[in-house]
Structure 1
Amino acid sequence: MTTTELRTLARGLTVNPVGVGCWAIGGPDTNLGLPMGWSTADDSESLRGLERALALGATLFDTADVYGHGRSERLIGRAIRAVPRDQVVLSSKVGYLTEGAEHPYEPAHMRRRLESTLANLGVDHVDIYFFHNNSFGDDDRWLDGAIEQMRAFQREGLVRAVGMRGPHRFVLDRLTVPKEQREDKQARFLDLFQRIRPDYIATRYNALTPTPPAGTESVFDFAERHGASVLINKPLAQGLLVGKYTPSAPPSFGSGDHRLRKAWFASAAIRVIDEGLRPLRERFGASTGDLARVALRFCLQRASNAAVLVGFTTEAQAEQNYQSLGEPLSDDDITFVRQVTGGVQKQLDSLGEVFLDELEAPR
């Protein structure tokens, strides 16, 4: 195993840049009338995975109150119980649970949600607290109050750094708002960024992510210019980039699993990805670990002001995330990966618009 050097990110948070994404361990779940969880999780296995990640050097753990409605947070709390608080960086989110409030970003409700998060984790503060989505009510009714509540949390020492999502659309807007009526997500992000002034941006990024159009600033460069850091989610494309699913071994998900409604896991897409990754297998090796190394290094080497968040549902997967890092990719390797995956992305696009605007659950 070749490890990566620790990185010091915004607000002086020093982390192993391979962080643990803890959405999957929340298990099967529904919210907003939609499947939002992972049917393949098991609490005992999840706890072993968290403990193994800690043993292999993990320091950053990212979760949310909506992941299993607190289940993910509670498992992390059990895993870190004997770990000195200053040896882990904990990130959580608010914005998808209402539970009696008029809106998820109602300030008093935000405080109740944070108190629940702290109790679940067994700590007196979180290092990063994210606005989980950009929906602040009609005419942004709750935005100013939500921002002030976040600042209050910081003044009280309950939250060290504030985060927000990169450009995205609220999950229900994707289902209910016709495409021609949707707001410009880039413009919306820029407006919210100026008002929230976050320390961290969460964004989906992996080798299948299209490169920005010429003349367009990447989220990494944007963050660096503003003194912010980036947390990258889905670096393995939820297993699709490591050969976890093939036409002969298609995915099978139970109720409460968000992947049931995601086009990337449909048989047509699985065939495209499996065939498209053949050049990577030929160049770097065909094992899951070989492909994981390529996917993780591709993201880690994209920017120094970022960390990747890698999820798991088994102890073996958690171990692989840290033991497959190997040597960094060369510049030629990165160019090759981009060429190969760019071709795969184009084929996915040709299957239909849904691949361009994926109906994903909150992340």
Structure 2
Amino acid sequence: MMKLNKTGSPENSPNVTRTSEHELEGHHKGRNVKLSRGQKIIQWFSSLKKSLIAGIALLRRSIKLSFSKDPAPMKGRYWEQVPLPNDPRQLKEIAIDSALAQIPYTLNNDPVSCWKTVREAENILIDSTESEAPVETQHQIESRFFEEIINNKKEKHISEFKNTVLTREQQDMAQNELFHNFTLLPSGMIVDHKTGLTAVMVINQATDKITLIFGGTNSAYGASELLDDSGLKIGKKPGRLRAQLKANWQNLTGQNIPDCYHQAAKLVQLIKSMANSNTLLKRMGLDDSLGMLFLTGHSLGGGLVQYSAPKNKVLGRTFSPAALGYKVLEDLTIEEKELARNGLVSNYLIDNDLITTPSGYGLWHKWLAPTVIGKRTIIHGNKTTGKNTLYGRHSWSHLHYMVALEHKKKAKK
């Protein structure tokens, strides 16, 4: 027999009224009940707690999905991932360009180490059992292009240019306000301390290849104390590194297009025009059989190559390049970005590089895939370099490329 409570209702009856629950909703036995301030606060906190629990659960599921082990995509709208080539000659070109991209970092303060790096890359295909590798490098600094540009900049107020070899159109380009703060260092490198742009040109004496190299962050080290031709100090111009860091931040956040990107594009346009003129090359005292202009750069310099190469339809090769931010990428036309994707720009990256391929690269691909435009080749870092750290995989990337290329060369035998 079912036991009755004091009200005469069965204890387990489903029709029992839960007064306490209905009171929180503002009702009691069919009547409206005004909640006290304390009850309202309790009700609000209860609702907030439920929302927070649901939100945290959703966030956890989203993070788990984002960092899932799904393979990263191999191509995007303006980029495509490709393996290292098998052709030994192409491997040698990659090694040399990687070494050249390091020149702006060491040319001013450690030229011996600078050219040793280039020479090792030139001889990458020579085995230790073969004849001794050449002592002299095939590459030499070529500053006459920069000299002509800066001389025209100085003479901008003179109506007649008696000493220039540039055409009138090239003179107008050389007088662009973007070039007004260029300084040519005794090493043959140009630097703009206000924008952070650094660049140097080399010519391969064996192939006549002309390469314009853009420096990365902290390139032109030692340029703060400028020297004249006789080696005397002519003053200090600080701000180069600060300007480079500012350019990186502006590019990354998409605030605007840093001035050094505009400068790089205009500089490539002018030098391409000069290099394509046999008459001008002769008047500059250069061999008119020189080849086409090529671009290379590391880190920030790689970002400048990605931007200026498609702008001027010039081949470029980058190493651990800075990704192009929203504003910079938006300034490139669809045609220019497609030119980069179709092979005009080749990018070489180290896996788990803090700057270009950080941990969770699959997520990086999903969010930032369009920013490194062109062909991409990703190389694994190597412990034998002694620089297999987050910092080393970026700043010492050339060592990792050289090891990867050596392994590729041996695998072909």
Smaller-chain TM-score bracket: 0.3 to 0.5
TM-score when normalising by structure 2 = 0.31
Asked which structure has the greater RCO (Cα within 8 Å, sep 6+), the reply is 1
TM-score normalized by structure 1?
Answer: 0.34
Larger Cα-atom Rg? 2
